[in-house]
Amino acid sequence: MNNTALKIQVEKIKVSKIDQVDFDNLSFGSVFSDHMLVCDYKNGSWEAPKIVPYQPISLDPSAKIFHYGQSIFEGMKAYKDENDEIFLFRPLDNCRRLNISAKRMAMPELPEEFFMEGLTALLELDKDWIPRNAGSSLYIRPFMFASGTGFHASPANQYKFIIATAPSGSYFAGKVKVLIEEKYSRSANGGVGYAKAGGNYAGQFYPTQLAVEKGYNQVIWTDDNTHENIEEAGAMNIFVRIGDTLITGPTSDRILDGITRKSILEIAKDEGIATEVRKITVSELVEAAKKGTLKEMFGAGTAAVVSPIATFGYRDTDYDLPELENSYASRLKKRITDIQYNRAEDPFGWRFKV
């Protein structure tokens, strides 16, 4: 994409810190690349984005982000193929979802060209930070927050949009053990569950801590009203395989419209895997586990792509899932990652070359 349309101002870092990074031992999202994109909303409009060295942000103590939580974000990745060419995966979907979140949180929507051209310029500048190691990628975090000041409870009049990036290794490793949550809720009807608002994730931490204390890695969220329907797996969408059918819950104002979720459904259809988008009850899950027809459960999201679940707990009983040689989880993850890393054809038109 041509980056000249916006005439993005670039301030390069004086000395890169890339030589201090061990690219063979990257944890997730803890090392940050040299530059970031910054764009300010003032006087009713977005100013031109600029690229600056990665640095701390200075904010007034009365900035409304601290008081009323107007904060949204996205999660994306950039990939390098064996020829060092750079690719994104469905980036326009991230841009559109950011604006869906912004609208719900009474924040200004960001022009698509600011997002796409700004991101492309940032990746071209920091291209050496995109790792080529197997399973590694450059994690991209676009986010927006209220920078306007005042203690009055109302939307801010100023906002800041930033894209920061972090070279990262694989997100999850090992078997995941989850607990079905029956007391706490991630979101509610009419709420902000479908938006990628920071507070959604903050509210998950305490129930997850309680689950960890019981020996689990994560929680399975159920609906806020009856706690009878499976909704999400931690911070990811959830898929369940009963028999040979892959099932996931419908999106709603409680459930995030995951880009990986949508991709899995399309790939499954292309692979001839039977899929159903419908409510999944806890009782159906337990019954299938007892009968032996529950073959797989896995979370789906940008960071992990696919995270297989080995065990789920419900009312003081743990249910182990079988270990399958040719699981849907591994099959679908391979299809997605082969597209992302330009190792296979992309019949869906998802891959975006930078």
> Is residue 48 classed as helix, strand or coil in its secondary structure?
coil
pTM: 0.94
When the pLDDT of each residue in the chain is averaged and rounded to a whole number, the result is: 94
Confidence at 170, pLDDT banded by 50, 70, 90: confident
Looking at the predicted structure, is the pLDDT value of residue 12 above 50?
Answer: yes
Tell me, letter by letter, the H, E, C secondary structure of 84-110: CCEEEECHHHHHHHHHHHHHHCCCCCC
| CB distance 158 to 40 below 8 Å | yes
Looking at the predicted structure, is the pLDDT value of residue 2 above 70?
Answer: no
> Is residue 229 classed as helix, strand or coil in its secondary structure?
strand
Question: Token pair of 110, please?
Answer: 């960001």
Confidence at 135, pLDDT banded by 50, 70, 90: confident
Instruction: Return the CATH number of 176-340, one of 3.40.30.10, 1.10.10.10, 3.40.50.620, 3.20.10.10.
Output: 3.20.10.10
Give the pLDDT mean for 17-35. 92
Confidence at 173, pLDDT banded by 50, 70, 90: low
End-to-end CA distance of the chain: 7
**pLDDT digits 0-9 by tens, 283-336:** 999 999 999 999 999 999 988 889 999 999 999 999 999 999 889 999 999 999
Q: What is the DSSP letter of 149?
A: B
At residue 149, what is the residue type?
T
C-beta atoms surrounding 39 within 10 Å? 22
Residue 135 or 262, more confident: 262
Report the CATH architecture of 9-168: 2-Layer Sandwich (3.30)
Looking at the predicted structure, is the pLDDT value of residue 167 above 50?
Answer: yes
> Is residue 41 classed as helix, strand or coil in its secondary structure?
strand
Please report, for the chain, the start and end positions of each structural domain, with discontinuous segments joined by +: 9-168, 176-340
